């Protein structure tokens, strides 16, 4: 009887190993799927955090800009806004929020820029420049700059810019201050449809 049972015990071994391998691949697939969901959730959380930071910064800036005035005087208002994720270029990921702010109902909108960076080089200084496609400027115009903190987080705020948020030929570019290396940017209209993000140089 012992000899009769041995073939059954031996033949079940390969099936168990195949079953274990199959379960292993299923576990790997589930793990990869969960990691993908985690990455997507983290990216969405960062975008929401950027949006919330921008709203808070803009409200604080507008509150600071308000002076005592008669109740009939209109207060600044955001007439349009847009958010962009800049192409990854290595050394950090960056996003830009653009807001068109009207100081009063009859005035032209002024552009506010909020640039946020994550995983940037700690202590590295970054700048933002602006120019126009086919413009006559000798050099692009510097708007603002900022330095990444020890965790690699960066915030740059450029308020009250005399840049039309609807102009299709306006572009802004983030660059590294130390060597002037261009990173990535946006070509307008900054708050309208048709805006384009780009690497290094504007597409115009």
pTM of the model: 0.62
Q: What percent of the chain has pLDDT over 70?
A: 61
Residue 84 has pLDDT above 60, yes or no: yes
pLDDT in tens, 145-195: 999 999 999 999 999 998 888 899 999 999 999 888 999 999 989 997 889
Top-confidence residue, 55 or 132 = 132
Residue owning tokens 């109740």 = 71
Buried b / exposed e over 144-162, threshold 16 CB at 10 Å, is: bbbebeeebebbbbbbebe
The tokens for 146 are 């900022």
Give which of 93, 75, 76 is closest to 84, Cα–Cα.
93
DSSP run (H or E) holding 11 = helix 2-65
pLDDT in tens, 101-133: 888 777 888 899 999 999 998 999 999 999 998
- CA max distance for the chain: 105
Sign of the C-alpha dihedral computed for residues 54, 107, 167 and 172 taken in this order:
negative
Give which of 55, 69, 90, 108 is closest to 184, Cα–Cα.
90
Q: What whole-number distance in Å separates Cα of residue 83 and Cα of residue 95? A: 7
For domain 75-199, the question of CATH label 1.10.10 is answered with: no
């Amino acid at each position: 009887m012992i000899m009769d049972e041995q073939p059954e015990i031996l033949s079940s071994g390969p099936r168990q190993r195949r079953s274990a391998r199959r379960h292993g691949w299923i576990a790997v697939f589930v793990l990869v799927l969960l990691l993908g969901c985690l990455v997507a959730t983290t990216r969405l959380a960062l975008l929401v955090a950027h949006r919330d930071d921008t709203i808070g910064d803009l409200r604080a800036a507008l509150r600071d800009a308000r002076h005592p005035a008669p109740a009939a005087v209109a207060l600044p208002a955001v007439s349009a806004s847009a958010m962009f994720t800049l192409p990854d270029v290595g050394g950090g990921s960056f996003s830009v929020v653009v807001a068109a702010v009207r100081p009063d109902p009859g005035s032209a909108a002024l552009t506010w820029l909020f640039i946020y960076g994550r995983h940037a080089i700690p202590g590295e200084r970054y700048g933002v420049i602006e120019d126009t496609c086919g413009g006559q400027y000798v050099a692009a115009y510097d708007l603002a700059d900022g330095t990444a903190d020890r965790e690699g987080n960066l915030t740059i705020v450029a308020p009250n810019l005399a840049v039309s948020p609807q102009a299709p030929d306006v572009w802004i570019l983030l660059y590294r201050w130390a060597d002037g290396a261009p990173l990535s940017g946006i070509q307008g209209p900054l708050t309208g449809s048709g805006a384009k993000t780009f690497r290094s140089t504007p597409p115009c």
